[in-house]
Structure 1
Amino acid sequence: MIKFINVSKVYKNGTKALENINITIDKGEFVFIVGHSGAGKSTMTKLLLKEIEPTSGKIILEDKDITKVKNRRIPYIRRKVGVVFQDFRLLPNKTVYENVAFAMEIIGSHPMEIKKRVPEVLEMVELGEKANDYPDQLSGGEHQRVSIARAIVNNPPVLIADEPTGNLDPDTAWEIMKILKGINGRGTTVLMATHAKDIVNCMKRRVVALEDGKVARDEEKGVYEYEF
């Protein structure tokens, strides 16, 4: 599903963000990517989304080497990866329904398909009754649910959640984790970058710990050993 093969990334200012990373993530896995700020978590996400290119090495996504694709193919690669951000990034002048529908519109989905799919996904994240509300009418947890719905509405095989609980209270954070767990249970591969030690330790899923751009630990049912 996803392979980082001898991947290194050195930015123009000389910063070594990743150094000789080798990771294989199988289809359907739920993997936590942990580590202090600057450890390389965001760089991994940007590489998968083709926002940046590795200095060396290969990245495989669904059996294709995405380090060699032409620029015109990048939008198609990004369709395979849904992203949930910490700061939600909703469009303030669009309703919940319209925010989610927009993700389908930009890839040219048929209006009838959008009309069918969006309500299904909103029910999945328990926001069916909020379809006509605007972002300023929603709580923080509801904002994140809309963000998740938007990320999965096009059925991407991979979902990246970048600190999805970072701005939420503990109870709401666990509600979001329940939704992500359900999405993973339906076959979507989930990569979650996080500092949430309690969530990582309770979920008992695979943990890849980065430190100074290197893989410090890679354990099945691991724990978050770092102190804050």
Structure 2
Amino acid sequence: MIKFINASKEYKNGVKALSNINLEIYKGEFVFIVGLSGAGKSTLVKLLLKEENVTEGNILLDGLDITKISNRKVPYLRRQVGVVFQDFRLLTNKTVYENVAFAMEIVGAHPKEIRRRVPMILSLVDLSRKANSFPDQLSGGEQQRVSIARSIVNNPPVLIADEPTGNLDPETAMEIMKVLSDINGRGTTVLMATHAREIVNTMKKRVITLEDGKVIRDEEKGGYELEVSNI
């Protein structure tokens, strides 16, 4: 599903954010990317979204080498990847329904399909009753669930969550993790960058640890408490 092959990223200021990354993330996996600030987590996400380009190496998404696609094709690539951010990034002048529908509108979905799918997705994230509310009328957890709904409404095979619980209290954060886990259970590959040690230890999924732009650990299920205790 996702494959990094000898991928490196050096910025113009000389900072080497990632160095010779070799990773394979399989279809349907739930994977945590962890590490201290500056370890390379955000750069890894930006490379997958084609917001940055590799300096060396290749990245494959579902068999497509995204390091070789033209800028013209980047919008099509991003339709294959849903993204959830720490700061929600909702459109404040649109309702919950309109925020989610907008994600379908920009890819040219038929109005009938939008009317069918948006309520279904809002139900999945338990926001049906908030469909006509605006973002400033929602709690932080509800706003993040809108963000998740928007990210999955076009049914992308991959969901990237970049510190999705960073602005939430522990109880709400675990509610968000349940939503992400349910989405993963439906077959979506989930890649989550986080500092949240307790969440990582509770979820017991695959954990990839970055340090100074390198993969220093890649652990399967179980036994992560000691491995991530320095995050």
**TM-score, length-normalised on structure 1?**
0.99
Note if 1:155 corresponds to 2:155.
yes
Tell me by how many angstroms 1:227 deviates. Answer: 2.6
- Alpha-carbon distance in 2 for matches of 1:163, 1:71: 27
The question of whether the paired residues in 2 share the 8 Å contact of 1:35 and 1:226 is answered with no
Listed one character per residue, the Cα deviations across residues 170-204 of structure 1 (whole Å, up to 9, x for unaligned) are 11001000000000000000000001100101111
Which letter does structure 2 place at the counterpart of 1:38?
A: G
The question of whether the paired residues in 2 share the 8 Å contact of 1:99 and 1:150 is answered with yes
Identity of aligned residues (%): 74
Q: Runs in 1 of length 4+ with deviation above 6 angstroms?
A: none
The CA RMSD measured in Å over matched residues stands at 0.8
SS in structure 2 opposite 1:92?
coil
Look up the match of 1:175.
Answer: 175
The question of whether the paired residues in 2 share the 8 Å contact of 1:163 and 1:193 is answered with yes
Look up the match of 2:47.
Answer: 47
- Alpha-carbon distance in 2 for matches of 1:179, 1:187: 13
Tell me by how many angstroms 1:225 deviates. Answer: 2.1
**TM-score, length-normalised on structure 2?**
0.97
Tell me by how many angstroms 1:103 deviates. Answer: 0.4
Look up the match of 2:125.
Answer: 125
The question of whether the paired residues in 2 share the 8 Å contact of 1:7 and 1:58 is answered with yes
Look up the match of 1:216.
Answer: 216
Look up the match of 1:135.
Answer: 135
- Alpha-carbon distance in 2 for matches of 1:226, 1:118: 40
- Alpha-carbon distance in 1 for matches of 2:202, 2:98: 35
Corresponding residue pairs, total = 228
Look up the match of 2:38.
Answer: 38
SS in structure 2 opposite 1:174?
helix
Note if 1:225 corresponds to 2:225.
no
Tell me by how many angstroms 1:3 deviates. Answer: 0.1
- Gaps (5+ residues) in structure 2? none
Listed one character per residue, the Cα deviations across residues 103-162 of structure 1 (whole Å, up to 9, x for unaligned) are 000011000000000000000000000000000100000000000000000000000001
